[in-house]
Every structure is written in structure tokens, then in C-alpha cells.
Amino acid sequence: MSESLSLALHHAAHVLTKVEAGQALPAALADVFNRHTLSPASRGAIQDISYRSMRRWACAHALMSLLASKPPSPARLSALICCALALLSDDTPPYTEHTLVDQAVEACAQDPELSRAKGMVNAVLRRFLRERDSLMHTVLRDDEARLNYPRWWIEAMRRAWPQQAEAVLEAGNREPPLTLRVNTRKTNAEAYLAQLAAAGVVATRIGDYAIRLKRAVPVTKIPGFAEGLVSVQDAAAQLAAPLLQVEEGMRVLDACAAPGGKTGHLLELANCDVLALDHDAQRLNRVSDNLKRLSLHAKLQAGDARSRDWWDGQPYDRILADLPCTASGIVRRHPDIRWLRRPEDSQQLAKRSAEILDNLWGMLRPGGLLLIVTCSVWPEESELQAQAFVHRQNAERLEAPGQLLPQADDTSDHDGLFYALLRKPAL
């Protein structure tokens, strides 16, 4: 099969079949990329199709149920048709309609297991083009297909944020921007904006350290990235390190640190003695790579934040607790999350996070600060978690942003994160 749109659709169908079986989208993409020799352009097309399809997965399945007399089999055939329908039903499709139909049929024809169904694929997709208006009118009457989330997720969002629910859900279906964090040890925001302008890159400053590119590009094409002038980090995530008010020489624990964005930011702000902890030793390799690129150093430690097996017994001045959560605030970056999570996950993760917080609190010196961070919009993982912890530990709650809901406009563009800053009472 030549390197074409048909090839990209073929592999995207494999990827989305894996996601439907329970694998995370990045891991499914990595599996496909590792097993096949593909050009950078083909990899980019496969990734783009996969992400676009995930953001319209419920709509695509609803359309397929109207267009096919029974669920197509095998699963990869269903995924191929849904990929095509997701792209065709998009308000801004990345390909012309007839090109997409022809290439979807070609992808089917070139697959030995699916070639028998090429006529059916052609008929289904061409019928969609003929009857688009009536079909879309029908499927969009259903909230799940209109909003492209599981029904339980939509209901939970409406309970948690009745006034903002529709806007938050809609924000999760947008393609996220590429936001950079300026490394103030090597440059500053104004100087870096000038460097981007000189390179012909259009960008906007949206925070103290945050710069949003008008058009996303590979990191290899970002001026100064390899030299550590900037890192990729969402604008809301860039609030964490400054909130901790780190000073020279402080002992700082970054719990649940991988991939190391906040670790690097802490060290950019002050010469601290930082321990980056993560339960997954493999993920610490990414922390190491990021710090090396930034010319910074931290101690790396694999360990469970619920235990003290790894702790040297010396208290920390600052602790950053980036807690495990459902990641419901970053679905625009990880559109598969909504399909992989289950309603009970939030309570289970909140229980685990409470154990982490209670354990870390014992490692904080009196008068020290602990910052709770989650990339969730569910109250049980964020605000209710913070309230319960304050009550349990008699912690002093300081000023912090609280719940930030996903937002995208000319002056503010960020994911959904939660912050609570706590001080441990002095002895």
C-alpha cells in the first residue's frame, strides 16, 4: 500500500481498534509506528486522523448505525468506516469529500481481511454524502452524538458545572494550541517573541512565561527548543511552580513528577534541591531528557508517593503534589480519555490521592507549603479533595486559582486544572 491517505486510514483504523479495546491512544499509535516503517508525513496523517476521529467518535458511530443494517465486522472495518464518517461529518474536513471516500474504499480494497467489504464501504459513505443533512439532523438530536462524550460523562459535567457544562464539553472537542514556557534562565518572554518573529513564527504571549504559537509545529522546528530556551507546557500548568514560591537552596519534592514539565519550571525559578519522584521508573527517563535539554539537574527517584520507602527522613520546604486523576480537564489533548474512563474511576482515584496527600504531609516541615494539582474538572478529585484534606490535617489554605475550567480565547487559553495551596502549621 503506497504512502497515501488510504495508508493513513488503514493504520488509523488499527489504532482506533486498539483504543476501543482499552489501550490509550498514544500507546496505540506507538505500537503501530514501531511495527511499520513510515515516513514522517504518514505518521503525522495517521496521528491527525486518529485524534480527529476520537473527537467525533460518538457522532461517527451514530451515523454508522443509521447507514449500516448491522454492525460491520471485523472491528477494524467498523473503525475504518467510523474514521471516514468522523472526517466527512466535520465542519472543517481536512480532505475533500470524494477524495476521502475513494481513499477509504482503497484502504479497504488493499486489506486482505476487508477487501470483500469495499462495495459496502463505498455505498455507506456515498449515501452519507447524499443524505448528509437529514442524517446529521437525526443524530444530533442525541446529546451523546452531538457532544461526543459518553452519556455518563455529560451528565456528570452537568451536575458539577450546570452553567458551564456545554462550553466545557465543547472546549474538549477543539484541537489544542501549542503553548511554550520560556526558560527565564536563558531568555525572557519578550526576547523570545522577537526571536520567533525573526524566524517568521507568529505567536502571542498569554502569561508570565506562556507563549502560544498560532500554528503548531514539530518541536524540531521550534526556534531554540533544542537549546532549552523553551519547553512545551500548557498555560494553566505553568502556574504550578510560581505558586510554590520556591527560594534558593530549598528542599523541594515534586511528587508524581513525570514527564517533568513542572520539575523543570521549579528549577528555572530558583536553585533548589529538587527530588523528582514517580512510581514509573521508565517515565523518569522523560524527566531526565527534559532536564538535560534545559541544562538543569534534579535527583530522580522511582517510588510510590503513598509510601516512605524512598524518603531520606529530612523534611521538605515545598511539596508539589500533582495527583493521579481522571484527566478530565485535558480531554482536548487526550480525546481518548472520555472513552476509556468509567464512572467509578473518579472516586477510586480520589481515594488514592487522599492517601498520597496524607503521606506527603508528614514529610513537609512546619511552615512549609504543599500545592495540590490535578488536571481534573470533577469536584471529588479537586475542590472536595482539598476541603477534606484541610479538615483532616488542620492545614491553612492560602490563595490559589482553585478550579480552572478549559478556556480558549484571544487572551487566555488553557486546559482544565485545579490548584489548592496549603501551609503546614508551625510548631
The reported pLDDT for the residue numbered 92 is: 83
The strand pairing partners of 213, in sequence order, are 178, 203
Q: Which CATH homologous superfamily contains domain 5-147? A: NusB-like (1.10.940.10)
Give the mean model confidence (pLDDT) for residues 224-245. Answer: 96
For residue 333, what pLDDT is reported?
Answer: 95
Residues 6+ apart with CB under 8 A from 161: 168, 377, 405
Task: Enumerate the H helices of 186-260 as residue ranges.
Answer: 189-198, 240-243
Determine contact, residues 272/252, Cβ cutoff 8 Å: yes
Long-range contacts of 243-250 (CB under 8 A, 24+ apart): 243/371, 243/400, 243/419, 243/421, 244/318, 244/320, 244/369, 244/371, 244/421, 245/318, 245/369, 246/270, 246/272, 246/318, 247/272, 248/272, 249/273, 250/317, 250/318
Task: Output b/e per residue, 42-59; b: 16+ Cβ within 10 A.
Answer: bbebbbebbbbbbbbbbb
Q: Is 267 exposed, middle or buried (0-12, 13-18, 19+ CB in 10 A)?
A: buried
Instruction: Determine the pLDDT at residue 325.
Output: 95
Q: Is 375 a catalytic residue?
A: yes
Domain 178-232 matching CATH 3.90.1150.10: the answer reads no
Question: pLDDT (tens digit, 9 = 90+) per residue, 378-394?
Answer: 999 999 999 999 999 99
pLDDT beyond 80 at 85? yes
- Among 59, 82, 108, 375, the one annotated catalytic: 375
User: Residue 114 above 90 pLDDT?
Assistant: yes
How many whole angstroms separate alpha carbon 46 and alpha carbon 306? 39
Question: Would you state the pLDDT for residue 407?
Answer: 85
Using the predicted structure, report yes or no on whether residue 139 has a pLDDT greater than 70.
yes
CATH level 3 topology of 239-423:
Rossmann fold (3.40.50)
Q: Which pLDDT does position 3 carry in this prediction?
A: 59
So where are the chain's domains?
5-147, 178-232, 239-423
Do 5-147 and 239-423 fold alike per CATH?
no
Per-residue pLDDT at 412: 75
Q: What are phi and psi of 227, to 5 degrees?
A: -85, 0
pTM, rounded to two decimals: 0.93
